[in-house]
A and B are shown apart, each in its own frame.
Chain A
Amino acid sequence: MENDELVQNMLLELRRGVLSIAVLSQLSKEEYGYSLLKALSDLGMEIDQSTLYPLLRRLESQGLLQSDWRIMDEARPRRYYVISPQGRAVLNKLKREWSTMAETMKKMLS
């Protein structure tokens, strides 16, 4: 039972890096926070809003995303995020690293 918290913490750490890649990969076209949440969720990646929104800001402050407030489809103004050129370069590197790592882990865990 006392392992639960330990597992939770390790999962949190494991997800932290993965989430950044997931978010970057889904922002080749503009999304606002909530629509991105839905898109990720539809693909099977569940993420808390209280995690996603700060993550978006962090990625933007690192120059990997761009954002601005905009009105689309005659709705309320929303903040739309999209990947930046720098973000795309970073994503490509991460993708490569990810596939190597996934292969290695597959070998290790099978």
Chain B
Amino acid sequence: MSLIDRYVAEVGRHLPEKDRADIEAEIRSMLEDMLEERKQAGRSVDEKMIAEVLEELGDPRLLASQYAPSKRYLIGPGWYDVYIKTLQRVLFTVLPIFAAVTFILTLTEDPLDFIDAAGNAVGGAFNVGLQIWFWMTLVFVLMERSEAVPGETLSSHIRTWTIAQLPELPRTRQISIAETVMNIATELFLMIWIALPVIRGGSDSVPFLHPDLWNFWLPLFFVIMGLTLVHEVFQLKIGNWTPALTATNVILSLISIGYIAALVLTQDVINPAFLAMLDSSLETARLREVVTWSIDISAAVIAGIYVWEIVHSIRMARQFSKQKSEIPASMQKVS
């Protein structure tokens, strides 16, 4: 009987523990029935007959898999697409940022060691990638397992499904999160750069901007920047160029253009002490000319960016309202 024992044990090895003894007993009983039938046909039970019977039953692993209703996969088709997409998105955003930050941080310690910095960036990104992959997979495996038998949940889901459960179309954003965050960071950086000499209050460094500007123009600058930051936060939250968001954007941009124009045309922007401090072979008058000229150009470029921003937001707003009006129209056609 050793062949039978081995066969039954092999089946049992691939069965869930709680059903194992019972199923093993059943298979044994079934094998004996098969042998008995052959015996009644006039043959005697021998190794050859046992082998024949076992081969009729087939691969023990296959037989076991027929019995096992348990999941034999980590992440099933229900979650697989979401899993891959999420993993891709997270890896492609986190890893480049992580690598870049590591690269720069290593360089600040030793500005010449490019090879070391690159090595740190790649190695670190690899480790972080492995971590993300592992934890993300674990989360999805748990989600897969937290559901009951998939067939059952699916059928009960279909039975009770109503149109209310149909998900909305995925909301598309016109305003990129990354771009807006970059803008916010740039604006904060600019504000800190301007405010820092005043906050520090040290007299050892000569500020770049004319001190008289603090009487009116720089406080006004902070007010406008503050409003812009608030607007930027709303851009992040709303994500699309709604009429209100567009209108406020146009107003803010016009105020900014007016501010820059008035500032450059009526004020001395650069601190004369700063100019005097520059050790230059140029004559002071000539230097002043160059600096004024470059300030004017910068102002013109900034104003140009604001104009473009106005045009862009209005164009996007038109697109957005068109999209919104299209959806009800198509629904009317259906009904």
Contact = CB atoms under 8 A, between A and B. Distances in A.
Does chain A bind chain B?
Answer: yes
Interface of A: 32-35, 48-51, 53-54, 57-58, 61, 69, 76-79
B10 to A, nearest CB: 13
Nearest to A50: B63
A51 B66 contact: yes
Contacts of A57: 19, 23, 67
Contact of A53 (B19, B27, B37, B69): B27
17 contacts: A34-B30, A34-B34, A35-B33, A48-B58, A49-B34, A49-B56, A50-B57, A50-B58, A50-B66, A53-B27, A53-B30, A57-B23, A57-B67, A61-B69, A69-B25, A76-B29, A77-B29
Contacts of B63: 50, 54
B29 A78 contact: yes
B57 A49 contact: yes
B82 to A, nearest CB: 27
Interface residues of B, number: 19
Interface string B114-151: 00000000000000000000000000000000000000
Contacts, number: 44
Contacts of A32: 29, 33
Q: Which 3 A-B pairs have the closest CB atoms?
A: A34-B33, A54-B66, A54-B67
* Interface core residue of A51, A57, A69 (most chain B CB under 10 Å): A57
B273 interface: no
A53 B26 contact: yes
Contacts of B81: none
B39 to A, nearest CB: 13
Contacts of A69: 25
A50 B26 CA distance: 12
A76 B32 contact: yes
B8 to A, nearest CB: 13
B62 interface: yes
Interface string B7-27: 000000000000100010111
A33 B19 CA distance: 17
Nearest to B68: A54
Contacts of B37: 34
B30 A49 contact: yes
A79 B57 CA distance: 18
Contacts of A79: 25-26, 29
* Interface core residue of A32, A34, A69 (most chain B CB under 10 Å): A34
A14 B32 CA distance: 31
Contacts of B34: 34, 49
Contacts of B23: 57
Given A32-B29, A48-B58, A49-B56, 7 more contacts: A33-B29, A34-B30, A34-B34, A50-B62, A50-B66, A61-B69, A78-B29
Nearest to B34: A34
A58 B30 contact: no
Nearest to B30: A33
A76 B26 CA distance: 12
Nearest to A57: B67
A17 to B, nearest CB: 13
B184 to A, nearest CB: 57
Contact of B26 (A33, A51, A58, A61): A33
